[in-house]
Amino acid sequence: MNGRELLESTLARAKAGNRAALVGYLPAGFPTVEGAVRGAVAMAEGGCDVIEIGLPHSDPVLDGPVIQTADDLALRGGLRTADVIRTIRDVSAATGAPVLCMTYWNPVHAYGPERFAAGLAAAGGAGCILVDLPVEEAGEWLRAAALHGLATVFLAAPSSTDGRLAEIAAVSSGFVYAASLMGVTGTRETVGVEAAGLVSRVRATTDLPVCVGVGVSDAAQAAEVAGFADGVIVGTAFVRRLLDAPGLAAGVDAVRDLARDLAEGLDRTVTTA
């Protein structure tokens, strides 16, 4: 089973179990390379079905201040793309969960799309979430991803037209990432009111699962999103647990506890549009 197939089967198993999948995000290299591995493994131990490992970038236009802080610490620590791939390898081996790399296009382009795809697949990665790559310019990556059995997840925004959503869905694999609101990542008091409508609009164009992220930070919000989406994506809340902890061990425990709290609220009857 290749990485894309593992992701697909994991999401299908969650749906068959009448629950939304929990997708957890942490950037590689934060607070250290090994610390990120421990944190990601703890997310899986707490109940995350899918793990996203971020590739820290010097110009993270989608990310809010919490993730920007973590990315900056990772880059100041000397993180390299090879360290990101190694993190994915270690997390995949320790958990057996599908592990995606969430990244901007520039680092992949600089590393070499074919080289990156080959390394990611060899590390047991499931694929990439490409934050800022337009579908019209994705041909080189899509060919490399297909060659190595990787999923490619594109983002859909509330501002996207129905035609644009169809274009995004047509080239996506694994799932479609529905941003719950316009703006950068970060915790919010409420989930964007446009999220349910966006999920419905995406489902009108594809049979792929639709997972919602951006702004989901606690169990109540996760349960709300689970009522209309196939998966719930949480990032900033996990990163904040590590940032606020007095030490790595306490941070890892806090990450595991948060994953457990979030996962407990995701059992539900799937609502289809």
Distance in Å from the first CA to the final CA of the chain: 30
CA dist 232 and 226 (Å) reads 7
Residue 2, exposed/middle/buried by CB under 10 A (0-12, 13-18, 19+)? middle
CA dist 40 and 259 (Å) reads 10
With beta carbons less than 8 A apart as the criterion, state whether 215 and 192 touch: yes
Residues recognised as catalytic: 52, 63
CA dist 44 and 39 (Å) reads 9
CA dist 40 and 97 (Å) reads 10
Nearest CA to 229 among 3, 28, 15, 84?
15
Residue 111 φ/ψ, nearest 5 degrees? -75, -30
In the sheet with 21-27, reading across from the earlier edge strand, the strands are: 151-153, 127-130, 99-103, 50-54, 21-27, 231-234, 210-213, 176-179, 155-156
Token pair in block for residue 270:
């799937």
